[in-house]
Amino acid sequence: MEDERVERRFEPDVERGPSWRCPWAVLAVVVGVSTPLFWWTDLDLRISRLFFTPTPIDGRLWIGAAGKAWPAVAASALWVGGGLVLGSIGVCLGWIWPRHRAVARRAALSYLIVLAVGPGLAINLGLKEYWGRPRPREIREFRGRADYLPVLVLGSPHHGRSFPSGHAASGFALIGAALSLRRDRCRRGAVYWTVAAVALGGTFGLTRIAAGAHYLSDVVWSAIVTTTTAGIVVSLLPRRATEDRDPVSGE
């Protein structure tokens, strides 16, 4: 029974072909709505202020960096992320889900490539190093020394690594597996992994906001950058082989 449930997650939905309109439409709406909202309001500061305490707790001004609860959540999310990476490597090597080699390997490979290119190169080595947006804990509003910069406003390179969130992006990278499954017409599996991407990326993002390391807009834009990267990566990977397309005959 368990094998049957797992198999259904990778079975192509043959009644409808893959569509890219929905993911890109959702991404466009997120960009179009969130960016002006962060520009024209102080939403970023308001959200960060919820986690700032004028009276230090354990010597810290941010509740996400004090005590044991928030650090434990952050550590747990990191362990989950590490497990997903190891599991994906196992899938690519055929150690996990060997009965679903083609579909599962494409999904796992998509996730690993997106993780390396999006959070790894584009965000941590690119945007974070050169965009220059100070972190919440570094600005004057929260007893720092730097000036607050709204999202998408360039600062001084190497003087602020807030934009965007690398931790959140590593969670959102699971969208690479979801888009791969969607293109292979495995819509049920695509939904599962989309939910997982939002949950893990959101958890990473929340713990980083609570620690004064990122603004909400940094987390939103990490999702935007990672999803865009995933769309490009999945579009460049080989499509389902002809012999994998018929789930009825298996030919």
Per residue in 216-234, pLDDT (tens digit) is: 999 999 999 999 999 999 9
User: What phi, psi does 247 have (nearest 5°)?
Assistant: -75, -10
**Residue 149: what pLDDT?**
95
The residue among 43 and 238 whose pLDDT is bigger is 43
For residue 110, what is the enclosing H or E element? helix 101-115
Question: What is the C-alpha separation between 205 and 107, in angstroms, rounded?
Answer: 24
CB 112 within 8 A of CB 89: yes
93-117, pLDDT tens digit by residue?
876 666 667 888 899 999 999 999 9
Query: What is the structure's pLDDT at 134?
Result: 97
Distance from the first to the final alpha carbon of the chain: 24
**Residue 62: strand pairing partners:** 52
Residue pair 48/136 in contact by the 8 Å Cβ criterion: yes
Residue 226, Ramachandran bin (φ over 0: left; ψ between -120 and 50: alpha; else beta): alpha
Percent of the chain topping pLDDT 90: 56
pLDDT of residue 245: 41
More confident of the two residues 95 and 167: 167
Across all residues in the chain, what is the average pLDDT? Answer: 84
pLDDT computed for residue 102 by the predictor: 82
